[in-house]
Structure formats: structure tokens, C-alpha cells
Amino acid sequence: MAQLGWVYLDPHGGKHRIGLYHGDKTGHLLIHCNMRVIQVDFSVLETKSYSFFIEDELCEIKIYKEHGSFSYEFTTNRKVDTPLNRLRKTEDRRNLKYVVWLAAGLAVVIGGVFFGLYSFGKWQEGKGFMENSLLSTEALKSQGLLAAQGKIAVAQLFYNTQGQQRRVFYTFTTADSVRTTGQFNVPPAGAFLLPTGFPLSDSDAFRVTYLPANPRVHRVEFDMPARPTITRYLQVAQSMEQQNHPEYSPEKCACIVLNAAAKSDWPVLANFIFQEQLPDENTRHNHDTYLRMTRDPGFETMIKQECWDK
């Protein structure tokens, strides 16, 4: 597994640590900055580049495949049109204030869009969980047609509580820009666990398969989370690892979690998230499953090799 790191000093003297993990065989890639996961990608087996912001600076990590091996480069892009690059050219501080206000206005607009989705009027009644998926009422009778003709989109989920009743609403948009919604009931209080065993949070997103001719026929697939949701799982797992192992540095906790996910894929993160729970509280992921994972000889060897100096 390739593991690299860089240090970036911003114009204000701040120090930022950037790193990546890249699986030799799987090609799974994870980029982090200041111990926070910022990008996750899978099966990266060819030349590719990734862009992200650190403060106002547009940064890039480029992956080159040459003669069967990979090389990596971290750079800042000072040519593309960004607020900071315009300031470098014009040295006009008033322009910076304009950009800040523009960004604030954009944030308000985005917040309004999400609030509108959350409070969207009339929602379609859903039909319980089946294995790791949620089938709409219409899909219960059309599973064969859905499997043969279904198209892919991303559904985003939100909690809504009214009195003593709590529901989860979800919405997705088809390739034809048709917005489809649904809902299902959940217990009135406490964390709600998906069929995969992971806790559901507002704005979690998952793949949805829908019938183009009738999007009300659809299946939300909780075993296919979107990348931002996997990133949240990583962050929660890292937080729980740090909370239960204060003797470890944040860097070591991040290293342990990231290597576990790279080795066994994202479902293993539930063992970190629920490591405090007893088996009778959570039969699938608990303190015992966490210990079995971390005490596995192969896992221990990997952590000693990859995280010994963290």
C-alpha cells in the first residue's frame, strides 16, 4: 500500500498536513488533510488527478501510472481562476471582501435548498426494509422489471419528527430531472440503525435503482452508500477510536482506521463505531467483534508496519 504525506504552509503561516493511502492491489484511494478525510475513490488503477481547497488555495494531487508503477505529486494551482489567484494578480483587497460575501450568499442558497428538500410537502408512503434495501410500495410487485430495466441515482435521507412520531424522508432526482420522494417510520427516539448495522444521520446518501418509466418503482440500497456517507463513517470511526484510546495520537487513530478500511472495505468501520457496546446491545457490531478484528494476526502486523511511527 502506498502511503505518502506532504506539508503545505498557507499564506497566513498555517501548517496543513496532507496525505494519501493507495492500495497496491485494490486501487482504493483515500486523501486526508489535517486528519480529516476529504476524498475517497475506488479502483484507481490509471493516471488521475484530484482537486480540493485548503483555506482559499486550490490544491491538486496527481497520480501518474508509468511502466506499471505509480508516482504521486502534490501541487497548488496558481493558474486557474480562483479568488485567491485573482488577489495575487490584482492585489485588490476589496475584491477579497466581495468573494467572501459571494461565498456566504452561496452557502445561504445551498442551505435553503436542503431545507426545502427536508420540508418538502407530500411524501410517498414507503414499505419497510428488505435485507439491505428499502423497496417502494410499487416496487414490491415489480422487482423483476426493476432488475432488468432499472437506472441508478442517489437518494438523500432526512429525519423528521412530528409529535411522538419520527419518520425518515428521502428524495432523489432521475436522469430526466424528475424528483421522487418517499418515507418510512423509525422509532421515536435514539439512534436508528440501517440494515447494514450503521447509524443513520441526516443527509446520508445511498444508491437508488428506479424504473425510468415510473420512478415510484424504486429500491434504496443501503449497502451502497455514496462517498460522502462513507467519509462520515470514517470520521465517526476515527472519533470513537480516539475516544477509547486516548493514549494514541490522532495520527495513529486515523492510520488504524484508514488501513482497516483499505484492507477490508467500509463495512469494517462499524466495529470501530460500536466498540463500546456489549453483544446483547448490538449483536452484529460490538466490543467482541472489535477485539476479534484488532487481535487478528494479519491486522496486528499491518498496523505495526503502517502505523508504528504515528
Do 7 and 73 share a domain, yes or no? yes
Do 240 and 252 share a domain, yes or no? yes
- Does residue 241 carry a pLDDT above 90? yes
Long-range contacts of 252-259 (CB under 8 A, 24+ apart): 252/307, 252/310, 254/32, 254/35, 254/310, 255/303, 255/306, 255/307, 255/310, 256/303, 256/307, 258/21, 258/30, 258/32, 258/37, 258/234, 259/1, 259/21, 259/302, 259/303, 259/306, 259/307
Contact yes or no for 245/253 (Cβ under 8 A): yes
Domain, as residue range, for 201:
126-225
- Domain end point (choices 180, 204, 225): 225
In SS3 terms, 195-222 reads as CCCCECCCCCEEEEEEECCEEEEEEEEE
Name the DSSP letter for residue 124: -
- Domain end point (choices 202, 225, 248): 225
- The stretch 11-23 carries a mean pLDDT of 90
Q: Strand order in 29-33's β-sheet?
A: 2-9, 15-22, 29-33, 36-41
Q: What is the pLDDT of residues 126-136, one digit of tens each?
A: 334 556 788 88
Q: In a 10 Å sphere around its CB, with 0-12 CB exposed, 13-18 middle and 19+ buried, how is residue 66 labelled?
A: exposed
Do 26 and 52 share a domain, yes or no? yes
Q: What is the pLDDT of residues 267-289, one digit of tens each?
A: 999 999 999 999 998 988 999 99
Q: How many domains does the chain have?
A: 4
Do 12 and 98 share a domain, yes or no? no
Do 196 and 265 share a domain, yes or no? no
Parallel/antiparallel/unpaired status of strands 29-33 and 165-173: unpaired
- The stretch 239-263 carries a mean pLDDT of 92
Do 40 and 71 share a domain, yes or no? yes
- Domain end point (choices 225, 251, 273): 225
Residue 285 sits at φ, ψ, to 5 deg, of -135, 120
Domain with residue 66: its CATH number is: 2.40.128.180
Do 238 and 252 share a domain, yes or no? yes
Do 107 and 141 share a domain, yes or no? no
Least confident of 26-30, 121-125, 242-246: 121-125
